[in-house]
Chains A and B, each alone.
Chain A
C-alpha cells in the first residue's frame, strides 16, 4: 500500500527547454547537450570495427548491421506509420536473390547488383504487399508473415535459382573492412534520414495514418498511397540488407528467407525502444553479438530472443532508449500524494 502514497514526478531539465529551437546555439553547453547523444552514436558505430578483437567479430558486426537495418525498417513501419510488417525475411530474400542472381548469372559488378537488388527488390516487395495494404493491425502482420514461406515454397517447387543448393559463389566484397563500414554507413544514414523524414510534413501524414486513418481519409489524402510511400521506403532499407547479405556471405540461397530475419529485428526493436528508430539499432548491435557468444548452445539461442522479447514486453515495454532518453532529458523524484 505504501506504493500508492507516492508517485514519480518528472520535470524536464531546463537545458532541454533551452536546447529547443533557436536557443540551441546560445552556448556550448546547449550545443554539446544536443550533440552528445548523436556524436556518441556515430563515433561508437564507427570505432566499433576498429576495437573488436578479430576478423570474426568484424563479420559479426556486419551481420548486426544487417539486423539493425531490418529493425529500423520494422520500427519505422510499425511505430511511425502503423503498419506492423513482420515480413523482414521476405525483404532480405527478395533483395538478396536479385543481387545474387544478377551477379551469379550475368556477372554484374557488386555495386550495381546491390543497387538493383535494393531498388528492384523494394519495388517487388511493395507490389506484392500492395493488395494487403487496406488491411490493418494484426491482419497485415499475418499476411506479411506468410510471404517468406510462400517465396521459399515457390523456389523449392519450381527449383528456381538452383533450388535448395542456392546460388554460389556470389562475388564478395574486396575485404571485410569495406563491408563492415559500408553497412555501418548505411545504418547511420538510414537512422538520420528516417528521423528527419518523420519530422517533415510527409512524416506527419505517416503519423496521422497511424493515429487515425479515417481522419486522414476525411482530409482528402489517399491513405493507400501514403502507405505505399512508407512501404517503399522501408523495403528499400530491408532489401539493401538482403542484397548486402548475399554478397557478404558469397551465397544466395533459401537461408535468406530464414525466420531469423523476421524475429530478431522485432526483438531488437522491442528491446531498444519502439518508435525511436535508433533504439532498434542499439538492440540489434547488442543482440547479434550476444547471439554469437551463445553459439555453443545451438538452437537454444532462439530461447534468448524469446526471453528478451517477453522480458522487455513485461518489465520494460518502453525499451532501453526511451528509458535512457527520459533519464537524459528529465529529473525524476518521488512525491507524496
Chain B
C-alpha cells in the first residue's frame, strides 16, 4: 500500500509566463501510480500549458517535473514519450495524408514500441489494426482504412488515444479528450478510459467537462489563473468555496 502511494509524476513549483501573463504560477501536484487524476479549471487556467510542460513541448520558467524520481524538465518531447509518458493533443494531430491505421505506424516504429514488439513479433499493420479496434474502431468496417483527413472528430480523438497506447504507456495525459464530442460519443469514450485504468495505465485528464470527468477521476486538482485552488476527491473539491467562486456562472451538476 505504501509503495502504491509513491508519486509517479511529481510537478514541483512550476512557473510559466507568456509575456506578462502568468499562465502557471508555482503549481505543484503529484500523480500517483494507477490513479486517474483530473485537472480542471475555467478557460485560460493554464491546463494545456501544464500538459505541454510535463511532456516537454514547452519549457517552464522555473520549477521541475520528475517521473519516478527522474527529472523530465529539459528533456526533448520524444525522450519523455520514450519513457512512457504519453499525451494526446486537444486539437487533434493526425497525419491527414495517411490511412487511419497507417497513422499508428509512426509510434509503432519508435524505439520504445520496437522494444516491446521484438519479444512478440508480428507485423506493424496488424498491430495497428488491433490498436484501433482497442479504442473503438469497428474491426471489419472500412473506417481504419480511410484517410485520416476523412475521419470525423470522434474517431480522431480515439486515434490520439491509440497513438499513446501504441507506445505501451505508463502514463497517458489526456488533453481534453471529450471536448468537441457529442454526448453519445462521450458516453462511449468513458468505458474506454475505465479500461485503461484497469490495465494499470495511470491517467492525467485535463478536462473542461466536469460531469464526465467525475465518473472516471479518483482525485481532482482545480486550477484558476495558473494557480492551484483546490485538490482532493471530487465531492470534497466541489464543496470548496474557492472552486465555486472560480466556476461562478457555470452550473455544476454532480
Tell me whether B166 and A219 are in contact (CB under 8 A): yes
B8 to chain A, nearest CB (A): 18
Tell me whether B86 and A211 are in contact (CB under 8 A): no
Tell me whether A219 and B98 are in contact (CB under 8 A): no
Tell me whether B98 and A221 are in contact (CB under 8 A): no
Tell me whether B95 and A217 are in contact (CB under 8 A): no
Tell me whether A204 and B93 are in contact (CB under 8 A): no
Is A222 engaged at the interface, CB distance under 8 Å to the other chain?
A: yes
Pick the interface stretch among B105-113, B131-139, B193-201, B206-214.
B105-113
Is A216 engaged at the interface, CB distance under 8 Å to the other chain?
A: yes
Is A321 engaged at the interface, CB distance under 8 Å to the other chain?
A: no
List residues of B (91-117) whose CB comes within 8 Å of A's CBs. 93-98, 102-103, 105-113
With both beta carbons as reference points, the residue of chain B lying nearest to A204 in the complex is identified as B105
Q: Could you tell me the distance between the alpha carbons of A222 and B107 in the complex, rounded to whole angstroms?
A: 11
Is A135 engaged at the interface, CB distance under 8 Å to the other chain?
A: no
Is A205 engaged at the interface, CB distance under 8 Å to the other chain?
A: yes
With both beta carbons as reference points, the residue of chain A lying nearest to B93 in the complex is identified as A215
* Binary CB contact string for chain A from 218 to 231 against chain B (1 if under 8 A, 0 otherwise): 11111100000000
> Contacts A204-B106, A219-B107 known; A212 to B95 CB distance under 8 Å?
yes
Instruction: Bin chain A's interface residue count.
Output: 10 to 19
Tell me whether A207 and B95 are in contact (CB under 8 A): yes
Residues of chain B within 8 A of A250, CB atoms compared: none
B126 to chain A, nearest CB (A): 13
> Contacts A201-B105, A201-B124, A204-B102 known; A221 to B110 CB distance under 8 Å?
yes
With both beta carbons as reference points, the residue of chain A lying nearest to B124 in the complex is identified as A201
A328 to chain B, nearest CB (A): 20
> Contacts A205-B105, A208-B106 known; A220 to B96 CB distance under 8 Å?
no
Residues of chain A within 8 A of B57, CB atoms compared: 214, 217
A203 to chain B, nearest CB (A): 9
B113: contacting residue among A216, A218, A220, A223, CB under 8 A: A220
With both beta carbons as reference points, the residue of chain A lying nearest to B163 in the complex is identified as A219
Is B77 engaged at the interface, CB distance under 8 Å to the other chain?
A: yes
Is A150 engaged at the interface, CB distance under 8 Å to the other chain?
A: no
Q: Could you tell me the distance between the alpha carbons of A63 and B76 in the complex, rounded to whole angstroms?
A: 44
List residues of B (109-154) whose CB comes within 8 Å of A's CBs. 109-113, 124
Tell me whether B93 and A214 are in contact (CB under 8 A): yes
Q: Which residues of B contact A (CB under 8 A)?
A: 55, 57, 76-79, 81-82, 86-87, 89, 93-98, 102-103, 105-113, 124, 163, 166-167
Q: Which residues of A contact B (CB under 8 A)?
A: 201-202, 204-205, 207-208, 210-212, 214-223
